[in-house]
Amino acid sequence: EAQVTQNPRYLITVTGKKLTVTCSQNMNHEYMSWYRQDPGLGLRQIYYSMNVEVTDKGDVPEGYKVSRKEKRNFPLILESPSPNQTSLYFCASSSTSGGGRNEQFFGPGTRLTVL
Amino acid sequence: GEDVEQSLFLSVREGDSSVINCTYTDSSSTYLYWYKQEPGAGLQLLTYIFSNMDMKQDQRLTVLLNKKDKHLSLRIADTQTGDSAIYFCAGWYSSASKIIFGSGTRLSIRP
């Protein structure tokens, strides 16, 4: 089954404790992206990757890091989480940069709470 | 800069039509999308429209695009309880090589 998986689905942590949210897709997609969803703000792009070893900042990259060492994986790293990073996070992938008719496939989301 | 705006809430009676509206600022958007997010799940593409089209119909869904007013709407005919979700309008902006999402409209269905 074609899918994007994220782990963990729920995470409660404390300020300053490094964490990683994993994302994996099995569709051989070149493009992958991380979003955060906050009430009333819709989805805001954190980072994206056009292909292996190619990553770039989205609209809200501060406090986050990513890596793309393999095509299928695109982990999101919070080196020193802060309470304002409490949010719902989505990973997405598509066969191109997401434009045109190409559909972005979304993971199920990771709800992160930073105390 | 690019922006996509939607109202946050809509409540309709079961069986009625729902109309969700969206406005966007950047006329360079070539594709416009409607995504659906059900509770506890990620977003799924519902339908899309190319910027040179005015209307697209797909079963109970009708998408209308008014390029002059930069207005996009999604009409759901015969709304059912299973249509309860958050609906996101989004536009592909080739100038920025990215998709911009609206804030989402939460559709609730009254019996």
CB contact under 8 A, A43 and B43: yes
Whole-number Å distance between alpha carbons of A21 and A70: 15
DSSP letter string, B27-94: TTEEEEEEEEE-TTS-EEEEEEEETT-SEEEETTEEEEEETTTTEEEEEESS--GGG-EEEEEEEEET
Collapsed DSSP state (helix, strand, coil) of residue A50: strand
Amino acid at B5: E
Q: Pick B99's closest partner by Cβ from A4, A90, A104.
A: A104
Q: What is the pLDDT of residue B51?
A: 80
Whole-number Å distance between alpha carbons of B58 and A30: 29
Q: Is B47 on the interface with A (CB under 8 A)?
A: no
Q: Is A63 on the interface with B (CB under 8 A)?
A: no
Beta bridge partners of B65: B72
Q: Which residue, among A23, A1, A20, A13, has the nearest Cα to A83 in the 3D structure?
A: A13
Q: Pick B42's closest partner by Cβ from A97, A99, A108.
A: A108
Whole-number Å distance between alpha carbons of A63 and A22: 16
Whole-number Å distance between alpha carbons of A25 and A5: 6
**DSSP secondary structure code for residue B83 in this structure:** G
Q: What is the pLDDT of residue B2?
A: 67
Is residue A48 within 8 A of residue A56, CB to CB? The reply is yes
Task: Give pLDDT tens digits for A1-46.
Answer: 889 999 999 999 999 999 999 999 999 999 999 999 998 888 999 9
Q: Pick B103's closest partner by Cβ from A41, A45, A100.
A: A41
Task: Give pLDDT tens digits for A52-99.
Answer: 999 999 999 999 999 999 999 999 999 999 999 999 999 999 887 655
Whole-number Å distance between alpha carbons of A27 and B89: 25
Q: How many CB pairs under 8 A join A and B?
A: 53
Whole-number Å distance between alpha carbons of B108 and B13: 9
Under-50 pLDDT residues of chain B: none
CB contact under 8 A, A98 and B92: yes
